[in-house]
A = this chain, B = another copy of it.
Amino acid sequence: MSEHPTAGLDDVVHQRHRLGILTVTAEADRVEFGYLKSTLELTAGNLSRHIAVLEEAGLVAVEKGYEGRRPRTWVGITAEGRGALAREMAALRALLERHER
């Protein structure tokens, strides 16, 4: 009996805010912290915590810099992050197909 699609999901990726961060960063090479915060409707603290989990797992890279005189933080998905997201999406697709049979 094949494994149930949810058995293969990785909590680091699957958690809904982290899944949001990965999908948004996958749409552009890197995304500014403020944009992520408003798009995902998260507080700065909550977003920072989830970014730290993803960074710790090597799935995103954080870059600090300036735009003019304003300090800015950018978050970019890594190759490992794109791989983990692809596996998550494949499992979600399998789950949807099983559910819609």
Chain A contacts to B: CB under 8 angstroms? 1, 3-7, 9, 11, 14, 16-17, 19-20, 23-24, 26, 39-41, 85, 89, 92-93, 95-96, 98-100
For A92, what are the chain B residues with a Cβ–Cβ distance below 8 Å? 92, 95-96
A41-B7 Cα distance, complex, nearest whole Å: 7
Q: Is the interface of A mostly helix, strand, loop or mixed?
A: helix
For A3, what are the chain B residues with a Cβ–Cβ distance below 8 Å? 41
A8 to chain B, nearest CB (A): 9
A92-B16 Cα distance, complex, nearest whole Å: 10
Beta-carbon contact of A99 and B26 below 8 Å: yes
A93-B96 Cα distance, complex, nearest whole Å: 8
